[in-house]
Structure 1
Amino acid sequence: MFLLSQAQMAKNGKTSPRPRNNVVYQDGCFFIVDFLRFSVPQTTLCSLCPGEEFVRLTITMAATGPAHSTAADSTSASIAPSAVVAKPCHNCRRRRLRCDRSLPSCQKCIKKGEKCLGYGKLLVWNRGVASRGKMMGKSFHVPDQAAASTAASGNQELCLPRKYRFVPSNMPDGEAEAEAEAEASGDEGETSVSINPCLVDPLFQDLDRASRFYISHFTDQMCRDLITYDVPRHNPYRGIVPLIRDHALLLHVIVANSAIHISNVISKGSGLLNGVPGQYPQHDALMAKQKTLQLLNQAMNDIDAVDPEVVLTAILLSINYELVSSGKDDWKVHVEGAQKLIDYFGLSKRSDLSSAMSALRDHVVSDCLIYYILGSTFSARQPNMGSMTSRYPFLDVLPLLERAEANSYMSCPAFLLQIMLSASHLSNLDVITGFEEEQAGYLMERARTFNIDAWAASVQGISSHNDFESRVHVASAHKSAVCLYIHQAVPSANLMDDDNRKRIVEDIIGHLSFILPGNLLLKGTSWPTFIAGAESRDPAQRAWIVARLNDLWEMLPWGYVHTAIEMLKAVWAMEDTAAETTGGWLKKLKGLGNDWIVV
């Protein structure tokens, strides 16, 4: 609307405005108001100021009321307070109040401080993509505030739909279509189109949905299992994921690990992954494992042309796959291959890597060697480890184990691991002489004099958590278990009597009882738990051991836990039915001919 200002009136010699009968003066401006029937707004010349124009405000009145109205701003509410309409405003109509029907806004709404919605048609969002057609009633998925804040914070974690129906890539077409039809014809009354609000990382954009799901599970779940504490920027296994773009070997072995882990989660009845068909993850795991073995075979045939750290990482994850699956037999082949690779490239002594890759290398090499040590304690035959089968095995890699022991999920001192390895060599000898018995006594003395408190204090300077008491209990349980193992490795040395063995079993159970379910250090207690269970003849202690391993299974659904229970039942059956206990349970367990591993 054109406004006639006081400056323009002064130019024409008008000092005091005097409005005509159809001119309204307000705030130094003139408004012409006409009430005409069936007319339209028009522009006219101001008779007071020749050559100036202003807008004639016209309110068109129909027979039953105004057909439409035009107003400039809130000042127009005082232009024609007597004008009314036939219907109440939208505010009063919804609240079922008596409306004064004044124009251009309801005075009742203005007095309440509310914005009057007026009398005409409202533009209402119909909560859908379209008001008609195939897209009618469908809407976009709106992320919650937590998800939006995570995306805005720049977090680089894999962004997947929050509500995800898993359909593996290898599902037959007919079954996939049936799954889609079942979802489309579900009981939900409202169909929605879920659109992922986050951008897809270029690392994953060429992968199918199933592969993204498995990689996300590996990042969120399995990386936590491979170390004691999952601290941001201090979990080297998360650094494996960015390497999958350039190394298909790592991609397939990660998918295999995640798929078999998901299968175990489903088998224990967890509600973590509702809606995932149990048979499909296991099938995907076998397919990815087969592809991994093919790529590993190609890499080992052209060993000088491959990245040794990448191949060793793939071998370690292949060992983990066997541990998650069952912990029987197949792990040994991968352990032997890992040691050959470590010896060939000298990976235990290399220092030409970046800090991130160096941390990953240290943990990968350390875990491979730990798997060898723990596997050699119960397996029927010693793995062929090349240069490590010397008179003093494992001495050259002890510093490497010490660098990685602070966050290793075994939570076992590297010094005790060295003693454990030497004792396992003695247990595999067919003939025991006085020299071997003397060696066993020397190992027993070294284990008994090991200072647990000093070790726990040294680890506190490296670890990110203040867990001194828990570290002491776990290391003490390992120390006592190593002493029992040395006795079983060379029973002819008579290093312990029956009463001493019973006291040590009680000591192990006493220390383990301080590590409650939910404590992350529980992940490193399976080996001493198994040793105590194999030595025990008390039914109450045996029941406690089985319950303890079941608690570990709830935290760590890896198949080797069930294998440990199976091994214990086999040992108990042999010990309870044997007339004499000569030879010890360790010789009998190895005599079964199976390659067991308890980690």
Structure 2
Amino acid sequence: MSLRMSSLDPNEPRAAKDCRTCNRRRIRCDRSLPTCKKCALKDLSCPGYGLRIQFGQGVASRGKLMGKALPIIEPAPQATLDETLSLRSLTPAEYINPNEEVESRETSLDTGTDPITVPDSLRNAFRSSYDERAFHNPFALNLDLSSYILPPYLQGRPVRELLHYHDHRVATLMPWVDSPNNPWRKLMLPLALQSPSQSLLLALLALSAEHYSSRPDVTWPEHDGFVSSNYRDRSLQILAQDLRTELGEDASPTRQAQASGILATILVLCNLEMIRCNTATWRVHWKAARTITRRWTAPHLPPTVLDETCRFLLKEAFIYDVFGSSTTFGDNDQIPSSVLTETDANVFTDWLQLVQDVTRAERARNDNPSASQTVPLDLQNMHSLQQRFEYARDRSRLFSQSFNFGMSDASHDFMVLIDIFHYAGLIYSFHALLDSQDPAVQAAIETNVGAVIDTIGQIQNTALYEHDLVWPLFMVGAQSRHNKSIQTFAETKLLEVMNSTGFSNCYPALDFLQRFWETDPSVIADWMQLARQESQQGQHFLVI
């Protein structure tokens, strides 16, 4: 899709369309750049000309969106593009337009409202009638849907059942470990039900329907009320409208909830495509989440005060970016670790920031090997890396002491999980930043591979933590080219995780590992070299 540029008069450039204020006033706009002169004469704030939303090709399979895919916001006219101070341009398939950042500078997301909470009167008010015993979770909210204003098409039995399934099953797979304070249940569900837009709610319904349909024992009827693509297509349509409003209007009492709902919708759609194993579409949503995160945290813009929901969503976007960035190449646009401040510090926060720093350093060094100081001093040797990872592990252990697990013996396994990621982080960092041909480095990597395998065996309740093991298992598999038994271990465990969680995103990663295990070491030095080569051919995989 080509960019729409304004028609440039030799004497004065003009925008390609009327400004939104003139549209609302139903008068002819003079389309002056950078803003409309008619607005200036009336002392009105001209919003500019930047937003156009279209749909790319190929995702929707039925209905009004047949043949269409993701909402795309086209860039502003050339004169407006030249004036922006914002982020790099995204490809047309990425539907967040960074050029609108100029407009967002004047808008704060802080409305002084409290974060979304669940009233006690609404907890356990609704119980599903279908197979509650099969999907029972003691931490579920069981919200009373009659307490929320929903359009008629979202008031039927399928919606109740899908929300019940998300509440009891899907939400358990989203955080490190399920608990009474699981924000994917406690924040996301009320946000979806209270939002003026239904985009997030529809995305959650699509996610739940897709996840349930991936189960081998699926029993739900296959009609429109339980078809994931129907909810997804409608969510995308409303998301486009939400983007137009959120990026184009002034601050209002609902602005913060709307901004949160947009990022929340994108994150849910990311997870939906992980179930579908659609890496290409997942990457589009991922880049959109990156862009919104930068809009909220850009250092050259006035600081934005984010409420609890916004902070949670920002941290979720960062988590996805850390894991996604570590195994994807050719796009060095990672969210910097500085987006998380000390107020965001919690279990795994320091570990995530450290891994992101390692990824950014490795990419910078690969892009410019001759440049000096591409790798920070505290990441340049084994000793300093070990010190930083030990500090991150100590901090995670400290924060875990105040974590409300809501169940007995879960804390033991969580401490084991912290150790697993500690060893896996060392494997990744030693390989990424040090000379893997050095016998000492090679021995250290092998030691940590063995530590990951041994520590995984110490988990007592695998059902609680199996979904967390994908990244460590990949790192183990990536270091097992010459060890068949470790290859079998990694492959078996990854298949177990996918069977248990219902997410099939491991298949491209497992296919990659199998291709890597067959390579000639004299031709392909390591897994990163192969991944880089394949990324240039359009082959990508994500490990999350």
TM category (shorter chain) comes to 0.5 to 0.7
Partner of 1:260 in structure 2?
Answer: 210
Partner of 1:525 in structure 2?
Answer: 469
Listed as ranges, the matches of 1:13-412 within 5 Å are 155-162=123-130, 201-203=146-148, 206=152, 207-232=155-180, 234-235=182-183, 237-242=185-190, 243-244=192-193, 246-265=196-215, 269=216, 271=217, 273-277=218-222, 284-302=227-245, 303-305=247-249, 306=255, 307-326=258-277, 328-346=279-297, 351=305, 353=307, 358=308, 360-382=309-331, 384=333, 388=335, 393-399=336-342, 401-403=344-346, 405=347
1:414 to partner: Cα distance: 2.0
Q: Give the whole-Å Cα distance in 1 for the aligned partners of 2:293 and 2:511.
A: 33
Further displaced range: 503-512 or 319-328: 319-328
Does the 8 Å contact 1:338/1:368 carry over to 2? yes
User: Aligned partner of 2:526: which letter?
Assistant: G
3-state SS of 1:321 partner: helix
Max Rg structure: 1
Q: Give the whole-Å Cα distance in 2 for the aligned partners of 1:480 and 1:581.
A: 28
1:531 to partner: Cα distance: 0.3
1:375 to partner: Cα distance: 0.8
3-state SS of 2:187 partner: helix
Listed as ranges, the matches of 1:433-512 within 5 Å are 433=370, 435-436=373-374, 439=377, 441-442=379-380, 444-449=382-387, 450-451=390-391, 454-465=394-405, 467-490=410-433, 492=435, 496-512=440-456
Does the 8 Å contact 2:426/2:445 carry over to 1? no
The CA deviation string for residues 396-437 of structure 1, in whole angstroms up to 9 with x for no partner, is 41435524x3xxxxxxx2222222112222333333235336
Query: Which sections of structure 1, spanning at least 5 residues, go unmatched?
Result: 1-152, 165-197, 406-412
Query: Which sections of structure 2, spanning at least 5 residues, go unmatched?
Result: 1-120, 133-142, 250-254
1:467 to partner: Cα distance: 4.6
3-state SS of 1:232 partner: coil
1:587 partnered with 2:536: no
Does the 8 Å contact 2:434/2:441 carry over to 1? no
Q: Identify the structure with bigger relative contact order (alpha carbons < 8 Å, sequence gap 6+).
A: 2
Residue 275 to residue 370, structure 1, CA distance change in 2 (3 Å): closer
Partner of 1:546 in structure 2?
Answer: 491
1:551 to partner: Cα distance: 2.6
3-state SS of 1:201 partner: helix
1:370 to partner: Cα distance: 0.9
Match of 1:558 among 503, 509, 518: 503
Q: Give the whole-Å Cα distance in 2 for the aligned partners of 1:554 and 1:240.
A: 25
1:448 to partner: Cα distance: 0.8
1:453 to partner: Cα distance: 6.0
Does the 8 Å contact 2:197/2:242 carry over to 1? no
User: Aligned partner of 1:248: which letter?
Assistant: Q
Residue 400 to residue 533, structure 1, CA distance change in 2 (3 Å): farther
3-state SS of 1:435 partner: coil
User: Aligned partner of 2:129: which letter?
Assistant: P
3-state SS of 1:342 partner: helix
